Structure 1
């Protein structure tokens, strides 16, 4: 049974879609509460809740007597901190390079159970529309430090929220940096595990099969839904995670 989306959440999703598509950009005024109430056939109280939550999430900025505006996007860098391997390596004075292994659009019938669960996609998704319509975009990238592969990235992105994702050259544009610039991220979660390298991963990282790897699995959210899910495989003897408490 398909979940019913509350009215305030539908309004939030519509506002975020307008921001993702570029219709409303940073600093632009959005539709008034009255206009949104008429458009969605709801009370102004329902609209107010949607705008209040997006303001608390730093997506919108409400100015008394002036209206509601799209917030400047720099909040994304601090509200959800996402590590960027390109910046990390360059700041360590190491030569960085990225090689795109593959890019493709993924339809609902191509998804495994993990991706269906992550993105909350039903098995019958797309029956009413074209079964060939993409629901996710997938990209696989090898990241090099001083000519040696140090990370293999497998990433999936909601095709509806970031429609221009596939047009980017990710040998030049960093995926995390691009998504932060384009999408108002709300929150994220991650895990790190030690896993013996499968044959394919070992080949990309130029290590022996079953060698130790550190795998970071991360998902970030927008409008209460997963925007992107990524697996980052690191050669265990070439990479470590560190920080300060």
Structure 2
């Protein structure tokens, strides 16, 4: 079942599309509230909500008496460059494929301590009128059947295997703030790259990562088609938008198939 996208979210998506397509450049004024209200056939209050949220996310800058402008900072040194395994493999003339293992919505009561700390979520359940509220069992994702269906999703979780020339090369475990990117879980990630989608919808301002060598637990070993406890390289990365963690990801790589390199 397809969920109706709220009007303010449609306006946000359209503004982001115009920015990322280059129609509205950094520092340029965007359409006025009145023009946007007429274009989308909504009230100025609805437009104001969209502009307010994008301003809080540092995508737009509102200037009293002058209008609303595309913020400069998201296009300068604060913008996070995130490597895309699909592009890397294709640029190396290798056949790339992705297979989605699972997708699910996670409520506050389902979180472990690590995820609470990562995303700054306390014990309180997010109210059911939030953007990601009332997620129910559908073909593309689900909430644990033991959880109250009126409890809002606070995170989305996806697990994806990335293949190079038919061989699994990376197992991706990703968690995303469901309240900031409510349509994330509905995407087909065998076609859409997770990082590309997040950057397009909520520009990343900073991030941090670690790379460790770990023995593969059973789930990871099965996904990568290697023996349990085989050596793997694990990249753990969290990226921020509007001052908050937007996504946390673990990327597992078979140690004998993958290496990290760069230029100094």
TM-score, with structure 2 as normaliser: 0.70
Kindly report the root-mean-square deviation, in angstroms, between the aligned alpha carbons of the 2 structures: 3.5
User: In the alignment, does 2:104 pair up with 1:104?
Assistant: yes
Question: Which structure shows the higher helix fraction?
Answer: 1
Q: Are the aligned partners of 1:29 and 1:69 in contact in 2 as well (CA < 8 Å)?
A: no
Alignment of 1:75-224 (within 5 A): 75=75, 79-126=79-126, 132-224=151-243
- Aligned mates of 1:114, 1:166 — CA distance in 2: 21
Residue by residue, what CA displacement relative to the aligned partner does 1:149-172 show, whole Å, maximum 9, x if unpaired?
Answer: 000000011111101111110000
- Aligned mates of 2:77, 2:227 — CA distance in 1: 36
Residue by residue, what CA displacement relative to the aligned partner does 1:171-208 show, whole Å, maximum 9, x if unpaired?
Answer: 00110111111112111111110000001100000000
TM-score, with structure 1 as normaliser: 0.75
Q: Are the aligned partners of 1:100 and 1:171 in contact in 2 as well (CA < 8 Å)?
A: yes
Gaps of 5+ in 2: 1-7, 25-29, 34-43, 135-149
SS in 2 for 1:122: coil
SS in 2 for 1:94: coil
SS in 2 for 1:79: coil
**Number of residue-to-residue matches in the alignment:** 213
Which of the numbers 211, 224, 229 marks the counterpart of 2:248? 229
- Aligned mates of 1:203, 1:152 — CA distance in 2: 10
